[in-house]
Amino acid sequence: MLLARLAETSRAVADVPGRLAKLGLLAGLLREAGADELPVVVAYLSGELPQRRTGVGYAALRALPAPADVPSLTVLEVDAALERLAAVAGPGSAAERRAQVGALFGRATADEQGLLVALIGGELRQGAAAGLVTDAVARAADVPPAAVRTALTLSGSLPAVAAAALSAGQAGLARFRLEVGRPLAPMLASPGTDLDDALARTAPAAVDWKVDGIRVQVHRDGQDVRVFTRSLDEITPRVPELVAAALGLPATQVVLDGEAVALRPDGRPHPFQVTGARAASADAGVPLTPFFFDVLHVDGEDLLGEPLAVRADRLDRLVPEPLRVPRLVGPGPEQARAFAADALARGHEGVVVKALDAPYAAGRRGAGWLKVKPRHTLDLVVLAAEWGHGRRRGWLSNLHLGARDPQGGFVMLGKTFKGLTDELLRWQTARLLELAVDAEAPRSTAGQVDVRPELVVEVAFDGVQTSPRYPGGVALRFARVLRYREDKPAAQADTLEDVRAIRDRGAS
């Protein structure tokens, strides 16, 4: 398949407004792809590179050769070229990388160059997010979308799922199973408005402490233990205490979900930055304590489809109480409020209310889990920042906040400079300049700096109000920064639907 064909479809998907029309275009292209081309085509349509990183920065993409007049590049040739780029290292690597970029882009037409720049820069915005491409795979293979999503949850690889679906249909998808040692996307909690509402929406329910740590997924197979973060990155060498905890359990194979947090001697959590630093290095000196709240597999038995009531019982029998998150099962409103107040008094964020009859919806944020905090919070993406004035002159201060649009891209909800300490101002200025779209941005100290939408920030706010000022029709009231979430990728930020749901439930 020529890259020009993919670029043509990508442009058409960006131009057409309706979801069904986008699906038709994507499915048609997927059917055209050969078996060896399909994984690359799926990755590119999702705005991703199989190599993840190529070592090519924005500076290398600013002075490109003149585009070719006639398309000749194939998808597989581009994939091979990017593979070679990703392998460049050592003395002279910068010059070699520039030469390879020039050779690749010199064979690309103008449309193909635009596509390649967007892919390499992580900024392909044609409305074909992974969720839409997932449904396009289902349409192309004529299989139920739910079957594709389930296989994707278990495998973590949409290209692999697409290859199985288009080659073998539902039988191919049925071959995907939870594999101990291979992480799967975690189940996520949706924002809840208040405790009474969350209990009513999930009944019968359990209420867990919401611990302010790092999400961990622990896999044990015999004496082999692997620990993964919510972004599916492996951190096993950095967390020996979690490895030891898993090896101490009365099971040969187990997959656990939970949080790890650095605790003070009195049992209260350290600030999140301490936990984050400890998870980044085993030499940080502060031990991590696991708080496991779910079990997904035990000794050959997958538990994903079992209701929480069953999984909670297995967890209680498998994991000793000091390593489990405190949980209250089937409480009334008064009991739940007292339990939540105790969690807050001990320094934790709040509670998560969980439906006891809900299966583990890996990779999804649904109504089965509702997080309730004493304030409204959302995890949003920084889209831009403005240089400060007065005391904040020389620092990037006013943040432009965006919610994730499931159809692709991000939707701005407002701005804030509240909650920023001098330490945060210094840190975010350096970090945002690294993400600046314009390489000249560090030379200016005025105006606005647009950044690549990669940095997630947790924001507290008093409510959501309807607003014609922003394209999503909603805005946050009195937003303020709580912390940055470098442990969370932008793809897991809260969505525009989450924000509207808070407004519709009376949070404004």
Candidate from 168-182, 409-423, 428-442, 487-501 with smallest mean pLDDT: 428-442
Q: pLDDT of 313-343, one tens digit each?
A: 999 999 999 999 999 999 999 999 999 999 9
Asked if the model's pLDDT at residue 27 lies above 70, the reply is yes
The contacts of residue 12 (CB under 8 Å, 6+ apart) are 25
CB 346 within 8 A of CB 267: yes
The candidate with the shortest Cα–Cα distance to 102, out of 64, 151, 135, 143, is 64
Q: What is the mean pLDDT of residues 261-278?
A: 88
* 102: helix, strand or coil: helix
Residue-level pLDDT at 127: 44
* 92: helix, strand or coil: coil
* 135: helix, strand or coil: helix
Residue-level pLDDT at 471: 85
Asked if the model's pLDDT at residue 507 lies above 60, the reply is no
Residue-level pLDDT at 52: 76
In Å, what is the CA distance from 7 to each residue of 85, 100, 139, 352? 21, 21, 21, 44
* Rounded Cα gap, residues 42 and 159, in angstroms: 6
Percent of the chain surpassing pLDDT 90: 61
210 is catalytic: yes
Q: pLDDT of 95-109, one tens digit each?
A: 898 899 999 999 999
Task: Please report which confidence band the pLDDT of residue 242 belongs to, taking 50, 70 and 90 as the band edges.
Answer: very high
Residue-level pLDDT at 123: 64
Task: Please report which confidence band the pLDDT of residue 487 belongs to, taking 50, 70 and 90 as the band edges.
Answer: confident
Task: Please report which confidence band the pLDDT of residue 508 belongs to, taking 50, 70 and 90 as the band edges.
Answer: very low
Q: pLDDT of 144-191, one tens digit each?
A: 998 998 888 788 788 999 999 999 999 999 998 888 998 988 888 988
Residue-level pLDDT at 415: 93
Quickly count: other Cβ atoms within 10 Å of residue 189's Cβ.
Answer: 20
Pairing of strands 188-191, 365-372: parallel
The contacts of residue 306 (CB under 8 Å, 6+ apart) are 359, 360
Residue-level pLDDT at 130: 63
* Rounded Cα gap, residues 446 and 304, in angstroms: 52
pTM above 0.85, yes or no: no
Residue-level pLDDT at 442: 67
Percent of the chain surpassing pLDDT 70: 96
In Å, what is the CA distance from 286 to each residue of 78, 153, 266, 281, 290? 46, 33, 14, 10, 13
| Mean model confidence pLDDT for the chain | 90
Extract the tokens encoding 128: 């074909």
328 bridge partner residues: 207
Pairing of strands 350-355, 301-302: unpaired
Residue-level pLDDT at 467: 84
Could you give phi then psi for residue 14, rounded to 5 degrees?
Answer: -65, -35
Residue-level pLDDT at 257: 98
* Rounded Cα gap, residues 283 and 477, in angstroms: 41
Asked if the model's pLDDT at residue 82 lies above 90, the reply is yes
Residue-level pLDDT at 125: 55
190 bridge partner residues: 370
Of 22, 210, 371, 488, catalytic: 210
Task: Please report which confidence band the pLDDT of residue 207 belongs to, taking 50, 70 and 90 as the band edges.
Answer: very high
Asked if the model's pLDDT at residue 18 lies above 70, the reply is yes
